[in-house]
Homo-oligomer: A and B are copies of this chain.
């Protein structure tokens, strides 16, 4: 038997399940492996032997899977197998969990392990593959990239990001319509995820079109934020329009690196510390300095789970990366992560390659400074060319009783002991 385990880790995205299905389809339909076990809640599910088998034994003694369910999982938000934030110790410090994992690999006749996640998960992949090498195990260990933040290096972009960008751009268009209706001047601050890398905030630029240049201002964590320049930027816009919309990263900070959000700590009436977001802080500044209407809007969790607005190209690539990871392990590779290499913007073309996972783990990709304008309040055309292909295509949502249908995930929250 040549079986595999697949698991998911880190914050969920809209595309992380497409990668899972990509692994499953290629393992079975591609005839690469026999049984596919999903480990629940990441690597900790492996340690606890908490598996959900994704394959079914068919009448010929081979293994197949429920294709209808796989299609449903493909377009469902969040991690179908659950997640964890477990960080593996160094094997030199504590070998016990490594020993246990490889015993379980033996027990289940595992030929390859696939870990779908961000840079913390790639650290786990690096450690497990080093340990496999050390003990002479031939279990192949592969990472499959995902993160809404798009902050993994080497790969052109990361599954999950395109769908989040599509949600942000769409919401931004809708918000700019909503804020256009009154005659009195109004500033709307839209706070977007991404504490250290501004990719998601930058994607709000895609809301601009033939009749609208909104959001007029985009502030990213890659450049120091100045309150003085911000107020000047708003004043200048007020000379020609009443409808000002600003996109701002939750992680903007001043030239000393002090986060705008972190410095506005206040206590509520219960004495609990309240951490206002960057948007709320800017709302206070606009109201205080300019005395005009201002509203902060935080896009929040829907950015990473609004599967009804998934990017078709994002899910397709996520599945391809999962499938390619299977192929690479079947060819003998280990300790790698498949990556997207962009060949051209227009027409959009890419190929899938791989990189040693140690090149990726614990690193962070920020926006190149030349893709940000000189004033530090907007992005350039190169950024737009980069972003455009990533939000293309829709996935076709199935509605039941007026609500999108997603895969049953009650296996993740079953009561203890069941």
A268/B268 in contact, CB under 8 A:
no
Given contacts A177-B409, A267-B266, contact A166 B276 (CB under 8 A): no
Number of copies: 2
Pairwise interchain contact B269-A181, C-beta atoms closer than 8 A: no
Contacts of A403 in B (CB 8 A): 166, 169-170, 173, 206-207, 209, 391
Query: Closest B-chain residue to A14, C-beta based?
Result: B174
B-contact 0/1 string along A166-208, CB 8 Å cutoff: 1001110111011111110000100000000000000000110
CB proximity to B under 8 Å, residues A213-248:
240-243
Check A82–B182 contact: CB distance below 8 A: yes
Using C-beta atoms within 8 Å of the partner chain, give the interface range for chain A: 35 or more
Give complex CA distance A171, B167 in Å: 12
In the complex formed, the residue of B with least CB distance to A289 is: B270
Q: Does A388 contact B (CB under 8 A)?
A: yes
Contact stretch, chosen from A325-333, A335-343, A392-400 = A392-400
Contacting pair A78 B177 (CB below 8 A): yes
Given contacts A76-B177, A83-B182, A268-B264, contact A274 B285 (CB under 8 A): no
B408 touches A402 (CB 8 A): no
A319 at interface (Cβ–Cβ under 8 A)?
no
A256 within 8 Å of B by Cβ? no
Could you tell me which residues of chain A, from 278 to 320, have a CB within 8 Å of some CB in chain B?
280-281, 284-285, 287-288, 295, 297-302, 304-309, 311
The reply on A77 being an interface residue by CB < 8 A is: yes
Task: List residues of chain B with CB within 8 A of the CB of A401.
Answer: 206, 388, 391-392
Tell which of A54-62, A371-379, A410-418 binds the partner.
A410-418
Tell whether, in the assembled complex, residue B178 and residue A78 are in contact, meaning their CB atoms are under 8 Å apart.
yes
Cβ-based interface call for A380 (8 A): no
Select one of B179, B182, B410, B412 contacting A181, CB under 8 A.
B412
Is A210 an interface residue, CB under 8 A from the partner? Answer: yes
- Chain B residue nearest to A287 in the complex (CB): B272
Our pick among B264, B270, B287, B406 for the contact of A285 (Cβ within 8 Å) is B270
- Interface pairs (27), CB distance under 8 Å: A12-B177, A41-B181, A82-B183, A171-B302, A171-B306, A173-B403, A175-B305, A177-B305, A177-B406, A178-B304, A211-B410, A240-B415, A241-B415, A264-B268, A264-B274, A265-B269, A268-B281, A270-B281, A272-B287, A272-B288, A274-B274, A274-B280, A297-B300, A299-B300, A388-B402, A391-B401, A392-B401
Known A170-B404, A174-B307; 11 more pairs at CB < 8 Å: A77-B177, A78-B178, A78-B180, A166-B403, A180-B409, A180-B412, A207-B403, A241-B413, A266-B266, A274-B284, A393-B402
